Chains A and B, each alone.
Chain A
Amino acid sequence: MSLRNHQSLRANMTGYAFISPFIVGFLAFTLIPMFISLYLSFTSYNLFTPPKWIGLGNFEKMFTSDPKYWNSIRVTFTYVLVGVPLRLIFALFVAMILNTKSRMVGTYRTMYYLPSIIGGSVAVSIMWRNIFSNDGIVNSLLSALGATPVKWFGDPNASLTMLITLSVWQFGSSMLIFLAGLKNISVEMYEASSVDGASPVRKFFSITLPLLSPIILFNLIMQTISAFMTFVPAYVISKGEGGPMDGTMLHSLYLFRQAFMFSNMGYAAAMAWVMLIMIAILTAILFLTSKYWVFYETEKGR
């Protein structure tokens, strides 16, 4: 063996030594579990008796004879398709009003980000449940304004609305990423367009949005994936039941119930795979269409 080969072998071994924890973890906690999950999705398995191969049985049941599954898909898509855009619009709005040189901006940023930092906790879900309870503050406010109080836990649409408001309230991390992006847009751009007599609205649509589009894409993808996986608020707010009338039965919660309350491990695995495929398709669509709406400075600038 030549000296050179020997050296590169050594370099490779050192490299693999450093990343070996990742490789082991990836195999043990991701890749092998994914294969197990794929196998289980074609079986009926309750954890106690060996898995029984049923072919496409789970998928057939899912698509033809489980209205609760379809409901969970509908609820989840509503949650994602309404919640994520609202959250991002709000995040961008706040980022824009905070993109000034005022000395108070640091304090404001902290105040607006705080809900997101505590957002994942059980405490906040409990709080949200109580704010929207029949005699909670939201209803007191509604009656004070002369509107009829809403039975947030009696109407499936109302309870989904409540979940969506909770997700919008936690807009902070997207806001910070937008803020970082806004700071990168050079002031000269805006000044030049002012000289040309552009209105603020015009500036927003022809400078801010295009230059921010890579960050919008990033936020959109990450937020969409995490929204599809939302579990804790639905679990806590509905006390694990997904009620009323399955109005808060998000996909993750339904999967959790199928797997761990009814011991339908095979069915839950099949659900997870269908969801993975749906998310992958959605992400692919976002990526593929992005070339029509995402603007990269380096491509056009020179």
Chain B
Amino acid sequence: MAWKTFKWPIYHILVAALALLMLYPVFWMLFSSFKESRTIFVTASSLFPTEWIWQNYVTGWKGTSGYNFGTYILNSLTIVVIATIGAVISSSLIAFGFARLKFKGRNIWFALMMMTLMLPGDVVLVPQYIIFTKLGWVNTILPLVVPSFFGMPFFIFLMVQFIRTIPAELDEAATIDGCGKFRLYFRIILPLLKSSLATAAIFSFYWKWEDLLGPVLYLNSPEKYTVSIALKMFLDSESASNWGGMFAMSILSLVPVIAVFFAFQKQIVQGMSTSGLKG
């Protein structure tokens, strides 16, 4: 039958076309980063630059407030790494407690944890800012990393779900062999939890790398700025109209994000499909 022969080619053409349409804005930004600033909007409708201007990456790298993007990238990385380590360690400990230990009040605490998962952040935004200000933590990275060390509800939930799939016989065997609870966590569960730890680390990386509100609130000297603020500043100093440089650095800021995505695709997609709480 004719339809059967054409069905798959037509399917692939339509699906691929829609996918390209989805990605067009990204490609547009990528190619605009190689256009001369003045011509970006004149030639907005044509994707490819007539002349490839690599200079944008040089001018963009210089930034707008006297520090270059090297500084901003290093600042972002510092925050991301510390917060991620904290989040992964603390969340896995807490998840082990919820999933494997029996104690009074466990269900209540678990319910509270699930509620904070759904709590809109705006309610605690102002008081947290006040607390961190009183503690003298403003203009340090402490407000951006310390909370991660107390477990992230999303990751705890993810890991609890995973630990529940690990057979309880393992625990029993280890306990009979005289293994304490901490050793059980550290020696038996943690190694099995690797994929969940990786998923949590990846999401933590994304959230911290892309975070704008935290750095805007808590960092106020330019040498401490993160990549997000630096990009935002480009936009504010539009009078210079260094469009090319701004697009170049926007692309640069996405490189780690996209690289991690392609490296851990499977992990990310699985993490998303099984729990999927990210915006």
Q: Which residues of A contact B (CB under 8 A)?
A: 11-19, 21-26, 28-30, 32-34, 36-37, 40, 47, 94, 97-98, 100, 102, 104, 108-115, 117-124, 126-131, 133, 135-137, 140-141, 144, 169-170, 173-174, 176-177, 179-180, 219, 221-223, 225-229, 231-232, 235-236, 239, 251-252, 255-256, 259-260, 265, 268-269, 271-273, 275-276, 279, 283
- Inter-chain contact B41/A135, CB cutoff 8 Å: yes
- Inter-chain contact A225/B45, CB cutoff 8 Å: no
- Tell me how many residues of B have a C-beta within 8 Å of chain A: 92
Q: Which residues of B contact A (CB under 8 A)?
A: 8, 11-12, 15-16, 18-20, 22-23, 25-26, 28-29, 32, 40-42, 44-45, 90, 93-94, 96-98, 101-104, 106, 109, 112-113, 116, 118-131, 133, 147, 149-151, 156, 181, 185, 206-207, 209-210, 212-213, 217, 227-228, 231-232, 234-236, 243, 246-247, 250-251, 253-254, 257-258, 261-262, 265, 268-269, 272-274, 276-279
Bound-state Cα–Cα, A123 to B234, Å: 11
The answer to whether A231 and B213 touch (CB under 8 A), given A121-B228, A135-B42, is: yes
- Inter-chain contact B123/A115, CB cutoff 8 Å: no
How many pairs, one residue from A and one from B, have CB atoms within 8 Å of each other in the complex?
Answer: 266
- Inter-chain contact B217/A117, CB cutoff 8 Å: no
A-B contact pairs, 18 of them (CB 8 A): A11-B103, A18-B101, A19-B94, A29-B124, A33-B131, A47-B130, A100-B11, A115-B22, A122-B231, A124-B254, A140-B44, A169-B25, A173-B272, A180-B276, A256-B125, A259-B125, A260-B129, A279-B120
Chain A residues with CB under 8 A of B42: 135
- Add 10 more A-B contacts to A36-B130, A117-B258 (CB < 8 A): A16-B97, A19-B109, A29-B128, A40-B130, A120-B206, A120-B279, A121-B228, A137-B45, A173-B272, A176-B269
The answer to whether A37 and B97 touch (CB under 8 A), given A25-B147, A225-B120, A236-B235, is: no
- Inter-chain contact A272/B123, CB cutoff 8 Å: yes
- Inter-chain contact B251/A123, CB cutoff 8 Å: yes
Chain B residues with CB under 8 A of A16: 97, 103
- Inter-chain contact B126/A265, CB cutoff 8 Å: yes
Bound-state Cα–Cα, A12 to B105, Å: 9
Chain A residues with CB under 8 A of B122: 229, 251-252, 255, 271-272, 275-276
Bound-state Cα–Cα, A283 to B126, Å: 23
Bound-state Cα–Cα, A279 to B212, Å: 24
Rank and list the top 9 A-B pairs by shortest CB-CB distance, nearest first: A25-B150, A15-B103, A18-B97, A123-B250, A33-B127, A180-B273, A36-B127, A140-B45, A226-B279
Bound-state Cα–Cα, A221 to B276, Å: 12
Closest to B273 in A: A180
- Inter-chain contact B269/A229, CB cutoff 8 Å: no
Tell me which of A17, A131, A177, A232 contacts B272 (CB under 8 A).
A177
Tell me which of A12, A121, A144 contacts B103 (CB under 8 A).
A12
Chain A residues with CB under 8 A of B11: 97, 100, 102
